Structure 1
Amino acid sequence: MTDSTLSSGRDLSITALQRDYASGALTPLQLLNALQPLLAASNPAAWIYRLDAPALQQRAQELEALGPGPQRPLYGIPFAVKDNIDVAGLPTTAACPAFSYIAEAHATVVQRLLDAGAILIGKTNLDQFATGLVGTRSPYGTPSSTFSAEHISGGSSSGSAVVVSEGCVSFALGTDTAGSGRVPAAFNNIVGAKPTRGWLPTTGVVPACRSLDCVSVFAISAGEAWQVLCVAGGADPADPWSRHAQAAGLPARPRIGVLRAEEREFFGDAQAAAHYADMLEKLATLGELVEFDFAPFAATAALLYDGPWVAERLEATKGLLQNRPESLDPTVLTVIARGLEFDAAQAMQAQTRLQALRQQIAPVWRSLDLLALPSAPTQHRIAAVQADPVRLNSQLGHYTNFTNLLDLCAVAVPGPLRPDGLPAGVTLLAPAWHDAALARLADTLHRSSDCRVGHTRHALPPPGARMEWPATPEAPWIRLAVIGAHLSGMPLNHELTERAARFVRACHTAPAYRLYALPGSVPPKPGLQAVSSGGVAIVVEVWELTPAAFGDFVARIPAPLGIGSLILDNGETLKGFLCEHTALTEAEDISPFGGWRAYIAHRSAV
C-alpha cells in the first residue's frame, strides 16, 4: 500500500464508525464504496479470498434494512478471517489448495460476529495449517511486514495482521497455538489479543493442536479488541474444549514479572533489547517490576514442538501426509511428520513433565500478578527465513510457545517504533480469565507510547467503553472482604487467584471492629472481631468469586476463622473474615495499626 493511499484512508476504528453510523453521516454501503481503493491497493499476498462487490453490497443493504441497534454492537464494522476458520459457502484452504473444501456452516465465532452486524470482507493468508510464526509458508504468497518489504509479517496469522495494519478492516480473526496471534501483531504495530483458551470456541476452525488452539483478535487497540472478544466469546456446546468464563481481576498497582538481565535473549538484536528496556520504563509507572526465573517457562515452551503435542497436528493433515505429501510446504511437512514419532507412552510422560513444570511455576503467581515479555526477540528478513526456516522460526517462539500449555491469556501491545523504523512491543501475560484486566492495562500502556494505528496515519481512538466482563445469565458473583494473609501479595492470596477471583477494590470496614494477631498461625493470620464500642476502621480488600468458587474457598477455611457479614465504611454489607471469640483471649490486639499489612511491615522492621 502506498503512502498516498495511507494518507487518504478512512479511519476504520470501531469507535469512529459507530459514531458516524449513529449520527447518520455514514451508511454501510458508503463505507464499502470508500474501502474499494484501499482493498485494491492492499498487499495481495495478505488475502486468499475477498468477497466481490455484489456480495458486499448485498450485505450492506441487508444491514441498512435492519439499522443499527444494541442487538448489533458491531453494525457495519468490516473484518477479515484467517483462512483456517470456516465461512459458509466459501473455501477453507488452511493455505493448502489440496486440502480446500467449501464450508457448510460458519464457525461459531464468525456466526456471532455476523449476527452482531459485522461485515466480512474476506479470508486471509497464513502459514500453512497454522504451522509457523513467520508468514512465509504459503503457496498463496508471502505478505511482508507493512513497515518493510524485506521483513517478515510474522505468522501464522500473517494476512490478518497485515490487513488490519494497512487499514483495510477494523479487526481480523487469527488463531494462536504457539504465538500466531501475537508475533504478527508486534511486526505490524497493532494489538494482538490471545484470550483464555476455550473462551472463544474453535468450532469450525481447522485444528493445529486442538487442545491448545485459540481464536485470537487483531485490532488497532486493546479496547477495540475487547469489544470483539466479548461478542465472539462464550461457551459453545459443540466445542469440547469450550469453557464458561470465570473472570479474574488485578490489583490497582500489580506486580509485573520482567526478565532478569542474564535471561534477556534477543539473538543479537540490540535494538530489540533496547526497546524492551524502554517499554519496562513505561510499565514501571503502572506497577511494581519484579524479576523472575524464566527457566521453567522456557522448558515448558520446548515441549510444544519437541514433545508429542506436535502429533495433534496430524488430525487435519494425516491424509495428505500419507497420500499427497508433495502438496505440503516442505518445512510444514518436516514439522508435522515428527508427529508420527510419538506414541501414547511418550504422550503420557510429557503430560507428567508438563504438570511438574506447572507446579514449579505455581509459586511465581503467588509473588506476581502478570508477566511482561518481548512479543518477539527479533524480526527477521524474508530471505533469511527462507534460507534457514526452522531455526529462525524457533527463535520467534522463545517468549510465546509456553502460553497455552500453561493456560495463560495474553495481549501483545505495540510500543514506539525502533530507530530502524520497525515496530516492536511487549506482551502482557496472566493466568486464565484475567483477560479484561490485561486489556485495561494493555490499553493504558499502548496510549503511553503515542503510537499511530498500524501502518496508517490515524491516531488511537479514545478509550471508549469500559473493559469489563459482559453480563452473563449465570448466578451473580459473591463479594468477599479479606483482611490478612489473603490480601494481594500475601502468602494465601493464591487461594483466591487460583479460583479466578477478581479484585474489586481496597477500602475500610466501618469503625466497629478490633484486629488481633493470632498466635501460632502458619502463615501468620489475623482475627477480626465486631465490637459494640471502641472499634476502629480496618483496611480490607474486596474480591469477588463465582458461587462455586466461593463455596470451595469457604469450605477450606480453618478454625478459628470463619465467614460472616462485615459492614464497610460506605455502609455496604458483604461477606468477610471473622474470628471465634475464644481464639482471641491470648491474641495481640493490633487494631492501632489499622490493618494487617501495616502490622506486618512494622514487625519486619523490628
Structure 2
Amino acid sequence: MSAWIRQFIPPIQIHKQGPLANRRVAVKDNIDVAGEPTTCACPEFAYTPLQSADVVQKLLAAGASLVGKTNLDQFACGLNGTRSPYGAVPNALRPEYVSGGSSSGSAWAVATGAADLALGTDTAGSGRVPAGFNNIVGLKPSIGLLSNAGVFPASRSFDTASIFARTVAEAVDALNVMAAGTTLPIDLRAMPEAFRFGVPARPEFDGDALSEAAFAQAVRQMEALGGTAVPIDDAPLEEVALWLYESALVAERYQAIQSFFDAQPEAVIEPVRTIVGGGRGHSAADVLTMQIRLEEARARLAPTWQDIDVLLVPTAPTHPTIDAMLADPIGLNRRLGRYTNFVNLLRWAALAVPASMRPDGLPFGVTLIGPGGSDWRLAQLGQRFHHATGLTLGATGQPLPAPRPILPPIANGMPIAVVGAHLSGMPLNWQLTELGAQKLAETTTAPIYRLYALPGTVPPKPGMVRAEDGRALVVEVWQVPMAGVGTFLRQIPSPLGLGTVTLADGSQVHGFICEAWAIEGARDVTEFGGWRKYIASLNKG
C-alpha cells in the first residue's frame, strides 16, 4: 500500500448497470472487501475476508466499481491522517498540511479524482474532518442507518460507515443505495426555505484567525440562504465530546482489538497504543456508569432541536501541518475533535460541506448537524450552501455541476410533483397535509414544459403541458402515503390528471399534467417560472 491507496487492478465490478453505474469507489481499509486484505493500517493484524461488508455489497449491486483500499489512522484512531505505518496521507491541496483522519486515504482519493466516491468510517469525526480539510463533502449518517456488518469496529456503539463525494447529491446517491431497507425512522420533511440554525455562542478556533474569519463568512452565507442564526451555549456538547476519549467509553476501543493488543502490543504504533491501552484500566461498572450518563445527556440535549432546524459548526477549529501534528499528536488531535466528537455519542446526523478557501490556500469547511434521521434534510440545505460558495470540486479545479433534487428513499408512499394550487401555502395544500403527506423537496422540472392559467377554475389552477419550446418550472415533490393516494387522485378535476413529470436532474416522478385541449384560450404564464410567482403578480396588480 502507498501512503494513499492500494489499487485493485482491474477494478472490482459485479454489475455494470444500476443507479451507481460508472461510479468509481474507494474503500477505507477497515471495511471488508471479499478476497482483499483488511489491514486497519496494521500489517500484523491483517486478515482476508470471504465476504464483503454489507455497504460494499450494496454499492456493487448498484453498479459501482471498486478501485482500491485506502490508508487510515491505525485502527481508525485519530482525526489527522499521520498515524499509519504506511505513511502520513498529505492534504490534497497543500501536502505539508494534514489530510485529516482517520479516513485520510478515502478523502484524498475523492479530492484528487482517483475515485468518485469513497467509504470511510466515523466514530469521532473521521468522516467529517478529512472532508473539511480536502474541500469535499463528508456525509456522516445517523447511527444505525447503515449496516456495520463487515466494518471492523473502532468503538462498536458509536461507529458508522460514512461517505465522501465531491458533491452532496453524489453522496446522497450512495446513501440511498446503502440505506435501502433501513428500519431507522427517517425525517421526510423538507428543509424549509426559511430556517433557524444554531451557532456556538463562543466558537473556538485554537488561535487560528483565518478559520475564525472563514466561519463568520459561512454564517453570513447561511443567513443569505434564508437562515436565522441562533447563538447557543455549546458547553454541554463540549462536555460530551470529551467523554469519547477521556472516560471509560474508551474501553470500547480496547475491546475491539483486545486479544491482538494483549498478544502484540508492539505492533500497535504510538500514540494509538497509548490511547487504546488507556481502556484497559476501566471496570465494567465504570463503563456502565458512563453509558447511564450518556443516556441522560441524550435526554437532556434533545430539546436542542425545539428552537433550531440545524446546528452549524466549524468542521475543525484549525488546520495544522503534518510537522505540528507529529510534535503534539494527542493534544492537537483532541482539539481537532472539538466540534465532532459529541455527534455520534448523541446519535445525531451530520454533513460536512466545503465553505471557502482561506487566503493561505487551505480549504475551510462547516458541518451541519441534526437529530437522528434528519440526514436528507441536512443534505438539502447542505447542497444549497455548497453550491452558493462557487467553489471548485476537491483538488480537481473542476466547477460544481448543477444541483439536483435531494430525495430520500421512498417507503410506503408515492412521490408526487405538484405545480399549482397544491404548493405549500396555496389553497389546496391541505389536501396533501390532511393525508399525512410530507414535502420532500422543492425543485424544478426539466426545461420541457409550459404553464397556463386555466380559465374558470376555483381556486385558480394552472395546466402544465409538455412543449418543445418549454422551460424549467418550479415544482414541489410530496410523498403521499400509499393508503391516501386513491383519495388524493379522486380530488383531481378534469382536465388535470396524474402523469409522469421529468425533473431537472432527469429523474421522473408522478405529477400533475394537463390535457392539451384545455389550454386553448388560456393565458400562457410560463415566463413567471412557476405558479406562485404568477399568483404574486396578480396580487400586486
TM bucket (normalised to shorter chain) is 0.7 to 0.9
Residue 410 of structure 2 corresponds to residue 471 of structure 1: yes
CA shift, 1:315, in A, is: 3.3
- Amino acid in the other structure paired with 1:386: L
Q: Which residue of 1 aligns with 2:193?
A: 252
Q: Which residue of 1 aligns with 2:121?
A: 175
**Alignment partner of 1:149: what SS?**
coil
CA shift, 1:309, in A, is: 2.0
Pair 1:476–1:139, CA change in 2 (3 A): same
**Pick aligned residue for 1:77 from 23, 36, 41:** 23
**Pick aligned residue for 1:118 from 64, 67, 74:** 64
CA shift, 1:511, in A, is: 11
Larger helix percent: 1
Q: Which residue of 1 aligns with 2:156?
A: 210
Residue 362 of structure 2 corresponds to residue 404 of structure 1: no
Show the 5 A alignment for 1:320-359.
320-359=260-299
CA shift, 1:307, in A, is: 1.9
Q: Which residue of 2 aligns with 1:562?
A: none
CA distance in 1, matches of 2:429, 2:60: 50
**Pick aligned residue for 1:282 from 212, 215, 221:** 221
Listed as ranges, the gaps of 5+ residues in structure 1 are 1-42, 236-241, 480-503, 513-541, 548-564, 572-606
CA shift, 1:148, in A, is: 1.3
- Amino acid in the other structure paired with 2:200: L
Residue 7 of structure 2 corresponds to residue 50 of structure 1: yes
CA distance in 2, matches of 1:211, 1:469: 25
CA shift, 1:348, in A, is: 2.1
Show the 5 A alignment for 1:126-525.
126-235=72-181, 243-249=183-189, 250-260=191-201, 263-286=202-225, 287-464=227-404, 466-472=405-411, 475-476=412-413, 505-507=424-426
Counterpart contact for 1:83–1:92, Cα < 8 Å? yes
CA shift, 1:371, in A, is: 0.3
CA shift, 1:545, in A, is: 10
**Alignment partner of 1:330: what SS?**
coil
- Amino acid in the other structure paired with 1:153: S
Pair 1:198–1:510, CA change in 2 (3 A): closer
CA-to-partner distance for each residue in 1:154-184, whole Å, 9 max, x for gaps?
A: 0000000001111111010000000000000
- TM-score, normalization: structure 1? 0.68
- TM-score, normalization: structure 2? 0.76
- Amino acid in the other structure paired with 2:111: S
Counterpart contact for 2:59–2:178, Cα < 8 Å? yes
Pair 1:226–1:344, CA change in 2 (3 A): same
- Amino acid in the other structure paired with 1:170: D
Counterpart contact for 1:145–1:162, Cα < 8 Å? yes
**Alignment partner of 2:146: what SS?**
coil
CA distance in 2, matches of 1:147, 1:451: 13
Pair 1:246–1:90, CA change in 2 (3 A): same
**Alignment partner of 1:359: what SS?**
helix
Could you list the structure 1 runs, at least 4 aligned residues long, displaced by more than 3 angstroms after superposition: 242-245, 475-479, 504-512, 542-547
CA distance in 2, matches of 1:315, 1:243: 27
CA distance in 1, matches of 2:168, 2:44: 37
Pair 1:183–1:268, CA change in 2 (3 A): same
**Alignment partner of 1:102: what SS?**
coil
Pair 1:290–1:508, CA change in 2 (3 A): farther
**Alignment partner of 1:297: what SS?**
helix
Pair 1:510–1:91, CA change in 2 (3 A): closer
CA distance in 1, matches of 2:59, 2:176: 10
CA distance in 2, matches of 1:115, 1:437: 26
Counterpart contact for 1:378–1:396, Cα < 8 Å? yes
Pair 1:244–1:385, CA change in 2 (3 A): same
C-alpha RMSD over aligned residues: 3.0
CA distance in 1, matches of 2:130, 2:173: 20
Pair 1:429–1:511, CA change in 2 (3 A): closer
Pair 1:272–1:341, CA change in 2 (3 A): same
CA-to-partner distance for each residue in 1:298-341, whole Å, 9 max, x for gaps?
A: 11111111122211112331122211100001111111111112
The count of aligned residue pairs is: 440
CA shift, 1:543, in A, is: 10
Pair 1:355–1:316, CA change in 2 (3 A): closer
CA distance in 2, matches of 1:510, 1:443: 26
CA distance in 1, matches of 2:424, 2:304: 23
Listed as ranges, the gaps of 5+ residues in structure 2 are 417-422, 432-476, 494-541
**Alignment partner of 2:280: what SS?**
helix
**Alignment partner of 1:444: what SS?**
helix
- Amino acid in the other structure paired with 1:418: R
Q: Which residue of 1 aligns with 2:48?
A: 102
- Amino acid in the other structure paired with 2:116: S
Pair 1:415–1:141, CA change in 2 (3 A): same
Counterpart contact for 1:201–1:234, Cα < 8 Å? no
* Bigger mean CA offset, 163-172 vs 313-322: 313-322
Counterpart contact for 1:296–1:360, Cα < 8 Å? no
CA-to-partner distance for each residue in 1:360-403, whole Å, 9 max, x for gaps?
A: 32222111111000000001111111111000000000000000
CA distance in 2, matches of 1:546, 1:445: 30
CA shift, 1:470, in A, is: 1.2
Pair 1:477–1:511, CA change in 2 (3 A): closer
CA shift, 1:507, in A, is: 4.7
CA distance in 2, matches of 1:149, 1:159: 13
